[in-house]
Amino acid sequence: MATSRSCQPPKMTPTVQEDTSHSDRVVSDVAVRILTQIVLRLSGLILLPLVSKTLGVTAYGIWSQLIITAALVVPVLDLRLGIACVRFLAGAPSEELRRDVLPMSLTVLASTLVVSGVAVLFAPQISAFLFGDTGQSVYVWLLAGMILARTMFVFLRNFYRVTGQVKRYSGVELIASSASILLAGVSVLVWQTLIGAVVAFIAVETGLAVIVAVDIARQVGTPRGVRFSSLGRYLRYSIPLIPNTLLLWAINSSDRYVIAHLLDIKQVAVYSASYSLCHLSIFVLTPITFVLFPLLSRVWSEGRKEAVGMYVEQALRYYLLLALPSVGGLCVISSTALRLLASQEFVTSDLLILLIAVGFLLLGVYQITLFVLHLHRRTGILPVVFIVAAAINLGLNFLLIPRMGILGAAISTILAYLLQAVAVAGYAYRLLRFKIRAAFVYKAVGASALMTLVLWWIPAESIFALIGIAVLGAVVYFLLMAATKEIGAKELRMITSLVKRKGRAP
């Protein structure tokens, strides 16, 4: 590994101009990602009423199992080389990209083909595990095609993140989402089949993976040959992360399989619908982490540890500022939203929504502070944290779900997320001191609680009423935060920066 990319970078003095430039870039990139995530989340919710109302609760349960299984398999099949690219190739010259991207891509393709083939051969057994029914083998075959297309698409589009092409990355992501949902919607409405919807996703992501591969070759050039000699340094970093990915998935998603076996596939659908809705509470997390890790990697390689700490502090502050009120807002609108988007069968308790939303909030704190461990290459603690959290989650699932139903799954998950967040954030703080003022957290929690009380008394029985409540909640919350002087000139400068950069490439 080159000296400039070592884990002990030389000390350099940060300048105000460099930090200002980075901050403007971060603000612009995060804004693009926030807008993209809003569209993607809303687009994703379209499938809930399409599948549930047209094909029924069981079909949505099958769809949910396919999605969470792909979420497990895709990060494993890319051998975590995607995160290695961001860690080591952010800001790298074209020669290095041209040399290293192709062998990594071929390695990911080979691993994906092997696993997809195994899934096809053992389809009945996998069907019994996923759906509690050996008669759903056709969906296992489709799952094999889905993970092949999605793994390559996700890995290849990572090139845009490495090279700082946030708008192009977002554009490709939006095209994939809108085209997939459009074709899937036509299939569900016209042919009344879930199979066609899955095929639509496979076709779109396969086509876009090819397009992105061609664009990479156009930008950095085509290598004269394939050299795997440089692959080792990336695999030495990425392979140890795979067990962490599996354990993290066990914490995040294994409860769906336990619900399927201890209850039924319909309860999986209800729980998954609540999960999808609650994911809106951290819509700002993905934009922040998307932009933050490449930025931290570049600044770290320059030896500017103080700047790294500053960016982590800012990321946590703005994440909590936006995520905390979303938790309360979702508790207010969840019943109406689920009834309107799906049906009365999907409506569940407000306590379940609160637990899932708070769990997501804790997950965001973990994901932001995790980057500090990656920069220091101190990820050895993660398997221990994940094993303990996964054991607690799985054990409580088997204990609580038979007694409390899907509410037991939510309790198990939030306890696992809490352990995970406390352990990783605490260790990150030992490595790199960053500050989050307790007074800010108290004020944000208090303002969120007052906002929730205000919204609780407002009736909402339509989509337009829900939008109105969301707007009113945002106004009340930010007015309260402004009254406590937690939103002021700094935030106004951020907005001004966004306006000045409108229409310009980040």
Q: Where are the domains of the chain?
A: 56-239, 240-506
Q: What is the DSSP string of 122-170?
A: THHHHHHHHHS-TT-HHHHHHHHHHHHHHHHHHHHHHHHHHTT-HHHHH
- Please check the confidence at residue 23 and state whether its pLDDT lies above 60: no
At 226, is the pLDDT very low, low, confident or very high (cuts 50, 70, 90)? Answer: confident
The count of residues in the chain is 506
- Minimal CA–CA distance to 333: which of 354, 319, 318? 354
Task: Report the pLDDT averaged over residues 371-384.
Answer: 84
Region 226-246: mean pLDDT is 82
- Which whole number is the average pLDDT over 135-159? 92
505: pLDDT strictly greater than 60: no
Average pLDDT over residues 395-409: 91
Band of pLDDT at residue 28, cut at 50, 70 and 90? low
pLDDT tops 80 at residue 460: no
Give the pLDDT score at 435.
Answer: 79
What confidence score (pLDDT) does residue 239 get?
A: 85
With a CB cutoff of 8 Å and minimum separation 6, the contacts of 195 are: 138, 139, 142, 187
Span of 177-181, 432-436, 450-454 with lowest mean pLDDT: 432-436
Q: What distance in Å separates the CA atoms of residue 444 and residue 161, rounded to the nearest whole number?
A: 32
Mean pLDDT across the stretch 434-441?
Answer: 84
Q: Label residue 155 by pLDDT band (50, 70, 90).
A: very high
Strongest mean pLDDT among 52-56, 329-333, 418-422: 418-422
The pLDDT value recorded for residue 386 is: 85
For the whole prediction, is pTM greater than 0.95? no
Percent of the chain with pLDDT over 70: 86
Look at residue 399 in the predicted model and tell me its pLDDT.
Answer: 93
Mean pLDDT for the stretch of residues 239-259: 81
- Asked whether residue 265 carries a pLDDT value surpassing 80, the answer given is no
Q: List, for residues 61-75, the tens digit of each pLDDT value.
A: 888 889 888 888 888
What is the signed CA dihedral for 234, 308, 71, 65, rounded to 10 degrees? 160
Overall average pLDDT of the 150-161 stretch: 91
408 with 464: CB under 8 angstroms?
no
Q: Return the sign of the alpha-carbon dihedral for residues 173, 420, 371, 152.
A: negative
Calculate mean pLDDT across residues 245-265. 80
Indicate if the pLDDT at residue 19 is higher than 60: no
Sign of the CA dihedral running 302, 307, 313, 319: negative
Residue 469: partners with Cβ closer than 8 Å, 6 or more residues away: 329, 332, 333, 455, 458, 460
**pLDDT: is 275 or 499 the higher one?**
275
pLDDT for 209 beyond 60: yes
Higher pLDDT, 488 or 417: 417
Say how far apart CA 113 and CA 102 lie, in whole Å: 17
Cβ burial, residue 207 (10 Å; 0-12/13-18/19+)? middle
